Amino acid sequence: MKRLFVILICLHSLQPGYLKSAGAWKSYLSYHNTTLVAEGNNHVFAVANGSLYSYSKEDNSIAFYAKETNPALSDNNILNIRFSPNENILIITYQNGNIDLLGDNGITNLPYLMENNSIQNKEVNYIYTDKSTAYLATRFGIVVINLQRKEIKETYRLNTPVSSVAIKDNYIYAATGNKVLKALLNENPIDPNNWKPDDTIQAEDSVRQLAVFKNTLCFLVKGKGIYYQSGNNTQTLLANNSLTGMKVENERLLTHSATELFIYSSLTEREKGTFGDIKDMSSTKNNQIYWLAAGEKGITGIERKGANQYQIILSDINNNSPVRNYADFLTIRNNKLYVAGGGRWTDRKRQAGTVMIYDTQQQVWNNIPDISGFRDATSIAVDKNDESHLFVSSWGEGVYEIKENKPVKIYNEKNSALQSALTTSGYTRVEGLCFDKDGNLWMTNSSVADVIKVLKPDGSWVSVHIPGVANAALADKILITANGDKWINLVRADRSGILVFNERNSLDNSSDHDFYYFNSLNDRNGNIGASEFFCITEDKSNALWIGTNRGPVILYNASNALKNKEQTGFNRIIYEDENEESQFFLKDERVKAIAVDGGNRKWLGTGSDGLYLVSEDGSKVIEHFRAENSPLLSNNIESLAINNKTGEVFIGTDKGLISYLGDATEGSESYADVYAYPNPVRPGFNQKVIITGLMENSDVKITDVKGNLVYQTKSVGGQVSWDCRNKNSKYVASGVYLVIAATPEGKESVVTKIAVVQ
């Protein structure tokens, strides 16, 4: 007889950090270095690390914009912004040439530049607005946008890079290095032959920006200052070799250096102030209030109180975000995501030593302060007894030991068994870090004789020499499987392959060690042909999934690999394509990251084809996300990590970090902590309700209060999602619904309630 356990859960009770619905995306982009600012009607827009946010002048709130937000941006990696007061539109241009217009009614996307294959370099250097028209200075000429119609009006191909544009007296001017071209707007500026140099502008050096102020053409010359056109002569407005930007907004000419802001109300009247870090400035509404892009301080607002007297009205915006958009390595422990932002291939990336920790329950980022001389953090290992005690590897500086956010020691060739990759000291390449059950810290040391190094709890070191992989150029991560074997993927070059090692009875006695180096992987048909090996993951059935440049490879009998050695057989996934022909899955794609969710399904991150979710055995593609069909930041996936307590899949891309809330969690040992969210389900809800805390592979039924079956399914791990529709795919009526779950054997069952409000 089934034992029935009834758990009544408060319908409005939700656990912190778990409030998203299955299928929801959330980007974790950096907003720590604000470089662009544009004042709108009610908001001040800013760009930090290529991402857009805004400050509300009405209620002081901060809003963040991304591909998954509302309104949703069309892309990421913003290069320029400019606000059109005439049309109340923020013009946004991206690094790949994509263009968004953000207005009162949402986003209008103009992919003209991005999709135009005849244009090679698509970056926009500068945005100039004139009434209802925007002029975009590009590497090949000028793109003209009709802001009222929200469409590309025309393109002027000047076949030369244009750094800035301005309109004066029916002439359009284009800054092209050491000369300024001009053309009459009513005499077909599409024809490049109609553009002529303006000989009245005498600039021997590079003209960086143009502006029209008091009906006078002004131009910023790099390393010299600002000049203006006076008849047939050029006059000096401000001689200053440190000026980096110039704008005309709200009848003021604004220019700045790295620390000083200069404000001109006429060609002869000027004020200035010193305000720390200045990257950009804007003032479109009130010519007594100015907004500055202030680097690490976010947006700085200043108000004029008198001649050369200013008061700061906004400063030091607190951005709870990653310090940088680096996500080369991810790992999760106890609801905390650890991020290392540094990489390598044939050479190091030379990225600042970025170590970041995200508390998924409190939703707070802790960015470890930069360590002098530390670059390219490659992995993180967390002390099992103390979460504030970390070891961080680097591709050049060895291993840093960090305690309570501060470095306490560095291990390199001078004070440890680690070796330098070069004949001279100072280039200690360490990639993988991993603690075993006894507290030994295992690590890989590339381009040296002894690839494996171990730091024991007593502070002593062990070097493991394996002849076949000595001097491997890129010994990557270490995976310790359930039976204690250590697996290392050797990514590339002449010693690429897979190494399995077990110290057996003694780590110190090399005669006990057992190992085998698979320099090639063979299936029943012979050599798979993989030459690059990116990752290894153990699934819940103790099979190994290996990411290669020929797709995913599976080793089902991994625990017997050291016994079988040469006889070990690997497997590839075979599927039928649209022509019903058998193919190897992702046979020509780099699989760079693999993660296993609570339902033993596999998430595969590729180098150019986005993210796949496949069934437990890989035979079925459940989801395929690309940047083109989802909020995914990039199709180049660098790393993956899954919080199996919540189902959140963290995805590290070459453009930053984003997550997707999957519908699988680890199964619970009992039904003691089952709950559903969101609960109650409010009108307009069009996603999925999550029922979590279930035991693995639970049979789940949803009924109305009369016992009529509404929906039936099986849990994926310890979780079920329901779209509030019945078995006929119709949205259910308002009311209370019971969730009944039982193990396949029927030994336990549980009831919780979901309220649906129409």
For 139, 488, 514, the CA distances from 465, given in Å and listed in that order, are 54, 14, 11
Biggest CA pair distance of the chain = 100
pLDDT at 561: 95
Q: Report the C-alpha gap between 555 and 539 in whole angstroms.
A: 10
pLDDT classification of 202: cutoffs 50, 70, 90: confident
3-state secondary structure of 140: coil
Q: H/E element holding 651?
A: strand 648-653
pLDDT in tens, 45-93: 999 999 999 999 999 999 999 999 999 999 999 999 999 999 999 999 9
Please indicate, yes or no, if residue 215 is contained in any of the structural domains: no
Task: Write down the mean pLDDT value for the chain.
Answer: 92
**535 burial type by CB count under 10 A (0-12 exposed, 13-18 middle, 19+ buried):** buried
pLDDT classification of 186: cutoffs 50, 70, 90: very high
In this model, does residue 517 exceed pLDDT 60? yes
Q: Report the C-alpha gap between 117 and 122 in whole angstroms.
A: 10
Report angle CA 506, 508, 512 to the nearest 5 degrees: 45
Please indicate, yes or no, if residue 356 is contained in any of the structural domains: yes
Residue where one domain finishes, among candidates 411, 442, 462 = 411
- Global pTM reads 0.91
Side-chain-side CA neighbours of residue 439 (13 Å): 10
Give the residue numbers spanning the domain of 353. Answer: 23-30+321-411
In this model, does residue 20 exceed pLDDT 70? no
3-state secondary structure of 351: coil
Q: H/E element holding 623?
A: strand 621-625
b/e burial code for range 246-262 (CB count within 10 A of at least 16 → b) = bbbbbebbbbbbeebbb
pLDDT at 503: 95
Please indicate, yes or no, if residue 734 is contained in any of the structural domains: yes
Tell me what the mean pLDDT of segment 571-590 comes to: 88
Residue where one domain finishes, among candidates 395, 411, 427 = 411
For 43, 210, 255, 657, the CA distances from 83, given in Å and listed in that order, are 11, 17, 17, 28
Rounded CA Rg of the chain: 30
Please indicate, yes or no, if residue 441 is contained in any of the structural domains: no
| 8 A C-beta contact, residue 641 and residue 659 | no
The DSSP-derived string for 213-240 is ETTEEEEEETTTEEEEEETTEEEEEEE-
Please indicate, yes or no, if residue 77 is contained in any of the structural domains: no
| 8 A C-beta contact, residue 313 and residue 304 | no
Task: Please give the backbone phi and psi of residue 114, each rounded to the nearest 5 degrees, phi first.
Answer: -60, -40
pLDDT in tens, 439-468: 999 999 999 999 999 999 999 999 999 999
Q: Which residue is listed with tokens 């009875």?
A: 505
In this model, does residue 162 exceed pLDDT 50? yes
Q: Report the C-alpha gap between 403 and 406 in whole angstroms.
A: 5
Q: Report the C-alpha gap between 643 and 661 in whole angstroms.
A: 10
Q: Which residues pair with 390 in a beta bridge?
A: 382, 402
Residue 739 maps to which CATH number?
2.60.40.3110
In this model, does residue 743 exceed pLDDT 50? yes
Give Cβ neighbours of residue 653 (< 8 Å, ≥ 6 apart): 327, 632, 633, 634, 636, 637, 638
| 8 A C-beta contact, residue 740 and residue 748 | no
Please indicate, yes or no, if residue 357 is contained in any of the structural domains: yes
Please indicate, yes or no, if residue 297 is contained in any of the structural domains: no
CA-CA-CA-CA torsion sign (382, 386, 388, 389): negative
| 8 A C-beta contact, residue 671 and residue 749 | yes
**172 burial type by CB count under 10 A (0-12 exposed, 13-18 middle, 19+ buried):** buried
C-alpha 97, offset from chain centre: 19
pLDDT at 120: 86
Residue 396 maps to which CATH number?
2.40.128
Tell me what the mean pLDDT of segment 314-331 comes to: 93
pLDDT in tens, 678-731: 889 887 777 788 999 999 989 999 999 999 999 999 999 999 999 999 988 899
Q: Report the C-alpha gap between 19 and 4 in whole angstroms.
A: 28
CA-CA-CA-CA torsion sign (420, 425, 431, 436): positive
Tell me what the mean pLDDT of segment 320-337 comes to: 96
Residue where one domain finishes, among candidates 363, 386, 411 = 411
pLDDT at 584: 93
Q: Report the C-alpha gap between 416 and 317 in whole angstroms.
A: 43
Q: Report the C-alpha gap between 591 and 604 in whole angstroms.
A: 6
Q: How many domains does the chain have?
A: 2
Q: Report the C-alpha gap between 376 and 583 in whole angstroms.
A: 38
pLDDT at 178: 82
Lowest mean pLDDT segment, chosen from 240-254, 359-373, 603-617, 740-754: 740-754
pLDDT at 684: 72
Q: Which residue is listed with tokens 């003021």?
A: 252
Q: Which residues pair with 183 in a beta bridge?
A: 172
Please indicate, yes or no, if residue 350 is contained in any of the structural domains: yes
